[in-house]
Amino acid sequence: MIGSTSPRTTRAAPRLAAVAALAVGIAASACETRVETPSASAAPRPTATRDTAAVTLANILGPWRQKWVIIDDATVEIVRHACIAAADTNLSFGLIDQPAVLADARGLGLVSLILADDFSAFECRAKLAADGASATTIEPPSRLDPASVKPLDEARITVVSHSRVKDATGERTIVIGRVGPAADAVGVEFNDETEVVAAIGNGWYLAWWPEPKEPGNIVSANRRNIVLKSVDDPVGVIQGRVAPATWWVDPSAVPISAKATKVKAVLVERACAGGQSPKGRVLEPTIFSSETAVLVTFWVTRRPGEQDCPGNPEFKTTIAMSAPLGGRKLLDGGVIPPRDAMTAPR
């Protein structure tokens, strides 16, 4: 059942091999591929435990609950398959073999999944049907910041995403983060002395609440409900969701010298962004290289809230490689299959 904090075997290797094989087929190449220390007198926090109520469909479909309920594996698979089906072509390729490492349900029929392995992580929000036999995604699943994949040690805790969302199911605040293996629970505490108990498992935690209020702090706790570590109130929105960008070599930089270790590029964000520039939201690219090709993928942090899609502007950037390009091909990894990045997409 989802909800255990014990390690879970992931299936990253076959999927990573598939990505490498795909790149080989396209380009005849293989891809290279303030926390606070608790004082000795830290007070017990009795609410930092998961809900032990009987797990029934009524628990998931009923009123919002302060504490999460454990979901059976069959329901998790129903939601996971709905997430895969709703993903665009590029994300669905990465989601097919991705295990669900965390599931959060606390009422209103809403189920949130974190699907992750050692290389990538995704968030999916869905609503379970009244009979529990099917689920519908509230919005397409999103990839989380690649930097969030790295696990934490001991009882450390961080916030990956903190956002207020509004959709067909209502308005709510969602917080997602990472926590170390020494923690047995995560509590989201508010200044009015209430708290929400996050779903926790496999180094991740997730919680949501309907009220438009911000947490005072977020804490990890042990089996005795003693606070181990804490992270201060996330100030404002922390947008942990990212989307790929399409990129190509800047025409003004052609031809490219074989000795070049930097390449001027133009990219366009693929997610709706209200026509705004991605400046300040472009992450460092992921670069896989081989003897015959260099596969470069750009990720852009998504803008918070609902966004119009009038078309996104071009944005110029520079790719820094660890070795001269030589005669290798440049591939845009922001699409599946990867495309030749020497020309702009049609």
Q: How far is CA 23 from the centre of its chain?
A: 24
The pLDDT assigned to 214 comes to: 86
The pLDDT assigned to 56 comes to: 77
Tell me whether strands 339-340 and 315-320 are parallel, antiparallel or unpaired. unpaired
Residue bearing tokens 């606390």: 106
In whole angstroms, what is the distance from residue 85 CA to residue 99 CA?
15
Instruction: Kindly give, in sequence order, each residue whose CB lies less than 8 Å from that of residue 5, ignoring residues fewer than 6 positions away.
Output: 181, 183, 184, 200, 201, 202
Share of the chain above pLDDT 90, in %: 55
The pLDDT assigned to 273 comes to: 86
334: part of which helix (H) or strand (E)? none
**Nearest to residue 128, comparing CAs of 55, 195, 192, 179?**
55
Asked whether the beta carbons of 102 and 2 are under 8 A apart, the reply is: yes
For the segment 292-307, what is each residue's pLDDT rounded down to a tens digit?
999 999 999 888 767 7
| pTM, rounded to two decimals | 0.76
Per-residue pLDDT averaged across 68-96, rounded? 87
Q: For residue 34, what pLDDT band results from cuts at 50, 70 and 90?
A: very low
φ and ψ at 110, to 5 degrees?
A: -90, 135
In whole angstroms, what is the distance from residue 75 CA to residue 58 CA?
13
15: part of which helix (H) or strand (E)? helix 12-27
Asked whether the beta carbons of 72 and 1 are under 8 A apart, the reply is: yes
For the segment 5-27, what is each residue's pLDDT rounded down to a tens digit?
433 333 333 333 333 333 433 33
Handedness of CA 37, 40, 41, 42 (dihedral sign): positive
- pLDDT for residue 243 is more than 90: no
Per-residue pLDDT averaged across 124-135, rounded? 94
Per-residue pLDDT averaged across 92-104, rounded? 87
In whole angstroms, what is the distance from residue 297 CA to residue 303 CA?
19
Q: 3-state DSSP call for residue 252?
A: helix
